[in-house]
Every structure is written in C-alpha cells, then in structure tokens.
Amino acid sequence: MAPRKSPEDKGADRSNVSKEELLKFYREMLLIRRFEEKAGQLYGMGLIGGFCHLYIGQEAVVVGLEAAAEEGDKRITSYRDHGHMLACGMDPKGVMAELTGREGGYSRGKGGSMHMFSKEKHFYGGHGIVGAQVPLGAGLAFADKYLDNKRVTFTYFGDGAANQGQVYETYNMAELWNLPVVFVIENNQYAMGTSVKRSTKSPSLWERGAAYGIKGEAVDGMDVLAVKAAGERAVAACRAGEGPYILEVNTYRYRGHSMSDPAKYRSREEVQKMRDERDAIEHVRELLLQGGHATDDDLKAIDKEIKAIVNESAEFAKESPEPALSELWTDIYA
C-alpha cells in the first residue's frame, strides 16, 4: 500500500502514535465493518426491511473524529448512520435489534435503520431527509453555547447534501452566532448514482464556508490519524469560542448507496482500486505490523473477538420479539 501523504494531510503526527491507540482504532473500525457486513447479510435474508445504507469504506471518518471528541459532545447525521452509532459507543445489540424492527432496539423496533437515538451517548439520529440534520445540528450547538458548557456538536452530511440551500442558511447563522459546531462533509464521491464531478464544478466543498467567514480544511478520510488530527483542530477552535469549523473528509463508500443500487455509475475496477490501495483498516493494520506493535496472530485474535460481538448482536436481534401492538400508541408527539 502506498504511504499516506496526500496534499491535504496537514501533518498527523505518526511518530508518537501509541500501540494502544492504533489497536483501539483497529478494533473500532473493524467493529463497524463487520457489523455492516452482518447487517447486509441479515437484509439479504429478509430479516431487515425498508431502507438500509451501509457505511463500509468510511469507517475512519467517525472513528477518527470520535477520538477528538469529549464526553458530552453531540453528534447528528444522515441515514448512513450505523457507523456513527457504534463509534460513539452505542450498543451493537440495540442497533442490530432496531435494524430488524425488534423490541430490543434503540427505538423499540419502531424506527429502523434511519431513526435511532441515544440520549446517553448524545446521538441525535439518523435523518432520512437529505440535509435536514444540518440546521438541527446548529440548533444543538446553539443550546450548548447558551448553556456555556464548552460542548461541541459534530454535524455530519454528504457531498450531495452539501448542495442544499439549508446548509448555507445554517452556515450563515452558525458563523453569525459563533456556534460550537463542526460541520463534517463526508465526501464519499457519490450522491446515490451521481458522482460529485457531475454535480458541481467547485472542486472543494469546504471552501464554500469562506463566503460566510467559516474556516475549515479538507482531510484524507481514509487515514484515521489524519482525521483525528483535523478533528482536534476543529474541536479546539469550537471550544475556544471560534466555531464553527468545516471539515471536508474525503472518503469512499464500497457498497451501493442503499441495499437496492444498480451500481451502473462506476466501474468495479474503481471500487477494487480503492479497497486495494486506500483501505483505512488495512492502513492501520500495516502500521501495527510494521511498527512491531502486533503480530498477524494478535490481529486474527482481535478479528475473532469482533466477530463474536457482531454475531452476538445478530443473535440478540433475532431473538428479541417484535414490538407489541400496543406500542403503536406510545411515543407519539401530540
């Protein structure tokens, strides 16, 4: 694999990254990947219905940014949300049970893939309307600013969403009020079947923030160390009262947009090349092996551990009952 040195890389310090941190990143990214693979299988078996958007390929984004977060920080995202939930510490069992529409799920089986929340982990969803979470994220940050509690909100959205009007209305208000919000553009190069090259002529999405006075940067989203370093810069600015901050994280999704995707808009070779040359988990695996921090056997043992957690979550999901009919009349806002 080629060494990670993209022009975007503003110097993630690799010299003093500890074995513990690398192992943590490896575990967390692997958990998301194996969980998503399992979700794909359960979908194929008819155990998951409705929409299901997998995060495979993008794992370094949330794992790197969560490493820059502190207790009490908030996160909100789109429908491609399972990775965000796992990365902020939500229980894989509760997430998988929600995907299968069971009582043991985070929304008691009534929300599904796109509608899960955790007050405890400050995860505010899961939003199916493209871009809808962006003003909501600024609202969360507004509350923190009002309470002066030094908390930061990570507001994630895609390259497609970055062309929505509400994003720019939000930028304007967020900068006007110096809100402690990190706008994370997960640029996975596609919005459904539309390549970013076909949807916009401006090559850099983060630089649009300049029109509103918002600072930011682009970062290599396949390098978890670079993502963490950029996340720390963004969070520091927000905590110092200099927020908002935009991070355009360049990443790639390996699977289709959702479980039904004709996959006609890109070649198999393009996807394979990313997997072979840029995979974020493989990158950390190599850092661990080359640095003498772990052996092949150590990593196999971790793989086994993670598979066990994921299998357990799938078993839990299958065994959890469907919600009772009476649940139709609970959790209703009226």
Q: Which residues bind ligand TPP (CB under 6 A)?
A: 78, 80, 128-130, 158-161, 188, 190-192, 257
Distance of CA 244 to the CA centre of its chain: 19
Q: Among ligand TPP, Mg ion, none, what does residue 128 contact (CB within 5–8 Å per kind)?
A: ligand TPP
Shortest distance, position 172 Cβ to ligand TPP, whole Å: 20
Residue with tokens 């958007």: 53
Q: Among Mg ion, ligand TPP, none, what does residue 310 contact (CB within 5–8 Å per kind)?
A: none
- Decide whether 100 or 163 has the Cβ nearer to Mg ion: 163
Interaxial angle between packed helices 59-66 and 280-290, expressed in degrees from 0 to 180 and rounded to the nearest 10: 60
- Decide whether 63 or 317 has the Cβ nearer to ligand TPP: 63
- Is residue 78 a contact residue for Mg ion (CB under 5 A)? no
> What does the CA dihedral 151, 156, 162, 166 come to, rounded to 10 degrees?
-60
- Decide whether 191 or 314 has the Cβ nearer to Mg ion: 191
Q: Cα angle at 185 between 170 and 214, to 5 degrees?
A: 50
Out of 131, 158, 231, 244, the only residue in the binding site for Mg ion (CB under 5 A) is 158
**CA distance linking residue 188 with residue 15, whole number of Å:** 28
Q: Per the structure block, which two tokens stand in for 270? A: 């393009």
CB contact set of 62 (below 8 Å; sequence gap of 6+): 32, 55, 83, 84, 87, 88, 156
- Is residue 248 a contact residue for Mg ion (CB under 5 A)? no
**CA distance linking residue 327 with residue 330, whole number of Å:** 5
Contacts (CB under 5 A) with Mg ion, residues 162-201: 188, 191
Q: Among Mg ion, ligand TPP, none, what does residue 161 contact (CB within 5–8 Å per kind)?
A: ligand TPP
- Decide whether 159 or 220 has the Cβ nearer to ligand TPP: 159
Binding site residues, Mg ion, CB under 5 A:
158-159, 188, 191
